[in-house]
Amino acid sequence: MLQTPDKEVIYINRFRFFTSLIICWFFVIICIFTVFIPGLIFFGLCAVLMTYRLFEPKKKIILTGTKEYKEQIKKDFQASLTDLGFFTYSDNGFGVEINGHSHSIAWTGIQALFGYKVDLYTLDEIRMDVFCDDDILFTISEETPGWYVFLKKIEEQFPAIKQNWNLEIAFPAFSANLTLLYEKHNKTFDEAIDYYYKKN
């Protein structure tokens, strides 16, 4: 679900939506003929609410699998590549809001970067833990606004970070694949784990 300047865009699985809609209206008709008032109220309310979703003035429904859906997904992805999200950037570093507090962090103030994967049952999510000076720690993921721009900036600042690390972390499935992407003082993986995670 995302926001457009005029409407909120909602993606709906067309098969499930229309199957549910048809079933609701079918039971509405059955309840009318059998004069089953409680069922008529329940299924009628469900049917009306579902039908209304298709015509809500403040929302734009896009059905999955349609040409419009494919075009919108492509458009959303292209927009995400340049979306700054929660970040602001300068030559020396970046600004980010963490737990309601704004922080200015110099590129040289980044102590370590860890990449890993989280199993969310229906899908996996790539995340990055960013350890900075003054015990500042924050986590961003693929779903964080500004993710792609942040990755690009990080790779520019730390060219030693392995290319396509996020793709390598994706496999094998069902494993966090915690990876040390960068460590300012050349600590080994085990040393970095002990130092950064055990103190935070």
Instruction: Give backbone dihedrals phi and psi of 127, rounded to 5 degrees, phi first.
Output: -130, 165
Q: What's the pLDDT at 150? A: 93
d(C-alpha 37, C-alpha 24), whole Å? 14
Which residues are CB-neighbours of 23 under 8 A, at least 6 positions away? Answer: none
DSSP β-ladder status, 110-119 and 8-12: unpaired
Q: What's the pLDDT at 6? A: 58
Q: What's the pLDDT at 92? A: 92
Q: pLDDT 10s per residue in the chain (200 long)? A: 344 445 677 777 778 888 888 999 999 999 999 999 999 999 999 989 888 877 877 777 777 777 877 787 777 777 777 788 889 999 899 998 888 888 999 999 999 999 999 887 767 889 999 999 988 999 999 888 899 999 999 999 999 998 888 888 877 777 788 999 999 999 999 999 999 988 65
d(C-alpha 106, C-alpha 92), whole Å? 6
Q: What's the pLDDT at 25? A: 92
d(C-alpha 95, C-alpha 57), whole Å? 37
Q: With 0-12 CB in 10 A as exposed, 13-18 as middle and 19+ as buried, what is 75? A: exposed
Q: With 0-12 CB in 10 A as exposed, 13-18 as middle and 19+ as buried, what is 150? A: buried
Q: What's the pLDDT at 50? A: 85
Are 161 and 155 contacting, i.e. CB atoms less than 8 angstroms apart? yes
Sheet of 179-183: strand order equals 136-141, 124-132, 110-119, 179-183
The per-residue DSSP string of 5-63 comes to SS-EEEEE-HHHHHHHHHHHHHHHHHHHHHT-HHHHHHHHHHHHHHHHHTT-TTEEEEE
What are the extents of the domains in the chain? 2-80, 89-199
Q: Which two tokens stand for residue 110?
A: 């980044």
Which residues are CB-neighbours of 52 under 8 A, at least 6 positions away? Answer: none
Q: What's the pLDDT at 5? A: 47
